[in-house]
Structure 1
């Protein structure tokens, strides 16, 4: 456990630094969206592009891992909406389900899991990113907007999918895979620019998580009872990873070719805290951002210990 904490501590310390910098106004609130944009549109795509271009497509996307993670995401979304629908309106239940099923794999998970398990972990983590961006987020946003009046244009699901495909991360992964398949070699200066941006992704993304969490708290205008947000955080941190492990081992027992290493990576990705950017998404769609922000904050604070605990418990699986 102590060796895992030695690896995870710097990651969570950078999140705390971002939170304190925003709280103390060393980082102006008006600068936080720009910092978030730098990570989302420049640094993180370059990091994912480099991972995508450094491994064969079969290692990048494993069909069994994608299927297991997708089924678990659907179960978490459906179960969370059903369990919380009596507490909140459908839109808020849908965004609560999104933070219950959508871990912070982009900003935190890729660098953290690579640090814990090695570069081979990048492939399974990238699989989770694609599932969450295309399936989980699109489904939850479509459910959230299903009762909103809309004209003869695209359906809520079509609009949500269009938003998912406007995200640069899937395209960065795809372009990286295409580069690996084609054998194209970039000129040295171009490759160096991509490398510099990719190297900036991890520290800036973690710092940004903290700043975004502080900003979400400043834009909270409702008082959310603990019973309306803490159980959802616990679903994210405990139910989600245990469900991934349970379904994965069930599939292996049934004869499916599920790699044990990839399944471990999937479970640890599911054990990550909720994606911090969902707070901005909830604010944009008019959901109860206060509840979403509290779910994300609770899962982030608790995950310092819970994630390290899961990482310690799953390490013996890698020796099998």
Structure 2
């Protein structure tokens, strides 16, 4: 267990440091968007570019991995919508489903899972990120807009959501890295040094930014949040989601689908990550009630240090 905590504790400590910097006003709130831009548009794309270049494209787009993750995501989205649609309305229920399904695979998952399991974890983790950016997020946003009386229908809402997904630089960096991998070529010397420097900055700055974003989200969450709903969705994210992924992975393996136990392990641990920190921003953008969503991200991140580490130990993972 100590060897696991030696890997996981620094990641969550950096998140806590970012939160503390915001809370103690060491980091101005006006600086947080700049940090987010650096991570989202420069550092993380550089890291994903390098990882994709070193990963065979068959691992980035493995049909068995895609089937397992999509199947579990559909079950979680359906479960949350079925429970909360009438009480919260379609728009708020849709973002509740998204925050219960979308793990923090970009800012936290890729470096953490690669650190725990080695470079072979990169392919499935990046595949998870691509699915959540293009499919899960787009579907939930389209559902949210479909319930808006001022909207223009589900088809237009889905088109707008997909446009936003294609505007995300992370998939494009992954696609470029995959092209380099297929072509068997590398980056020119000075460009390679620049990309490596940006990639090395990605993990610490991304995690620090997550903490700062969580502090800002807590400031804006308000005091009228129903904690019962927050606790339920947090439980779905940290426990139900990984359990469904693990169960579906075992079922697919039993049916002869070529999903390896190692891939199933990566997917299960990815599902056990806390909720993605950008979901409250999406909820705000589409005028949903972002307070409960922000609380879920905060609580799931705080609890995931214990639940994620315990799951890693229970599954017998030995950090590489």
CA shift, 1:91, in A, is 0.9
Match of 1:235 in 2: 236
User: Does the Cα contact within 8 Å between 2:146 and 2:152 map onto a contact in 1?
Assistant: no
The 8 Å contact of residues 39 and 202 in structure 2, kept in 1 or not, is answered as yes
Paired with 2:198 and 2:39, the residues of 1 have a C-alpha distance of 9
Q: List alignment gaps of at least 5 residues for structure 2.
A: none
SS for the counterpart of 1:133 is: helix
CA 245–151 in structure 1, closer or farther in 2 if over 3 Å, else same: closer
User: Does the CA-based 8 Å contact 1:87-1:228 persist in structure 2?
Assistant: no
Residue pair 1:264, 1:317 contacting (<8 A) in 2 also: no
Q: Indicate the SS of the match to 1:86.
A: helix
State the TM-score, normalized to the length of structure 1: 0.96
Structure 2 vs 1, CA of residues 317 and 160 (structure 1 numbering), >3 Å: closer, same or farther?
Answer: same
| CA distance, structure 1, for counterparts of residue 243 and residue 258 of structure 2 | 19
Distance 1:171 1:187 in 2: 19
Query: How far, CA to CA, are the matches of 1:117 and 1:59 in structure 2?
Result: 15
Partner of 2:139: 139
Query: Could you give the per-residue CA deviations for residues 5-38 of structure 1, whole angstroms, max 9, x where no partner exists?
Result: 1210000000000000011111100110110111
Render the CA deviation track for 1:64-100: whole Å, top value 9, x for unaligned.
0111101111111111111112331211111111010
Runs of 4+ aligned residues of structure 1 deviating over 4 Å after TM superposition are: 151-154
Deviation at 1:268, TM superposition (A): 0.1
Q: CA separation in 2, counterparts of 1:316 and 1:52?
A: 24
Pairing of 1:114-133 with structure 2 (within 5 A): 114-133=114-133
Number of aligned residues: 318
Superimposed CA distance per residue, residues 254-275 of structure 1 (whole angstroms, 9 cap, x where no aligned partner): 1111111011000000000000
Answer whether contact 2:104 2:274 (CA < 8 A) is retained.
yes
Partner residue in 2 for 1:95: 95
For 2:107 and 2:318, locate their aligned partners in 1 and report how far apart those are by CA, in whole Å.
26
Structure 1 residue 184 displacement after superposition: 2.6
Q: Could you tell me how far 1:222 is from its partner in structure 2?
A: 4.6
2:26 aligned residue: 26
Conserved? CA contact 2:94–2:143, under 8 Å:
yes
Alpha-carbon distance, 1:155 to partner: 1.0
Q: Please name the residue that 2:172 is paired with.
A: 171
Q: Which residue in the other structure is 2:274 paired with?
A: 273
Alignment of 1:7 onto 2:3: no
Q: Deviations over 1:143-172 (max 9, x none)?
A: 111022235996111111111111111111
TM-score, normalised via structure 2 length = 0.96
Query: Superposed, which structure 2 residues align to 1:190-209 within 5 Å?
Result: 190-209=191-210
| 1:122-146 Cα shifts (integer Å, max 9, x gaps) | 1110010011001100000001110
1:295 equivalent to 2:292? Answer no
Shift, 1:223, TM fit:
1.1
RMSD of aligned alpha carbons: 1.6
- Tell me the SS of whatever aligns to 2:315: helix
